[in-house]
Amino acid sequence: MSQLEVGQKVPDFTLPSSSGELVSLQQYLGKKLIIYFYPADLTPSCTQESCDFRDANGAFDALNATVLGISPNDLKSHHKFIAKYDLPFELLSDPDHRVSELFGVWQLKKLYGKEYMGVVRSTFLIDEQGILVKEWRKVKVKNHVTEVLQAAEE
């Protein structure tokens, strides 16, 4: 499958959400959508990134933009993560990494010399018509949310 590219319409997808509902991309047509893919709940970098998005959530709301987080974790893990850090947005569960593969973020990674498949931290800005307008791949957490907010303002 070819990786999604800036300028393309994002194909609709549906995933289970921490809200208890199934969430589809098409539910967000008419709004800007920020989707951030992260490797795992309750890990240091993923927690920092999620809390940064939490802290900027009001600013995103003011721009008619919704934030969604996606990881391979199950909903039980997502619920713990949300409760512990008071995250105001939904987290979607992608255990078979189907949506992660669609966005090209499910990749071979290396840690301490071992290779494994996992999510490469990435964020995507989708416009009101469902077009991918900006992407950040292999994200470094520091100042990342500020960059995403600036792009959403444009």
The catalytic residue positions are 46
Residue 153 C-alpha from the chain's centroid = 18
Backbone angles phi, psi at 71, to 5 degrees: -145, 170
- E strand or H helix at 90, and its extent? strand 90-93
Helix (H, G, I), strand (E, B) or coil at 144: helix
Neighbouring C-alpha atoms within 13 Å toward the C-beta of 131: 6
Burial class (CB in 10 A: 0-12, 13-18, 19+), 102: middle
Task: Find out whether 16 and 47 touch, Cβ atoms under 8 Å.
Answer: no
User: What CA–CA distance (Å, rounded) separates 45 from 145?
Assistant: 13
User: What CA–CA distance (Å, rounded) separates 83 from 86?
Assistant: 5
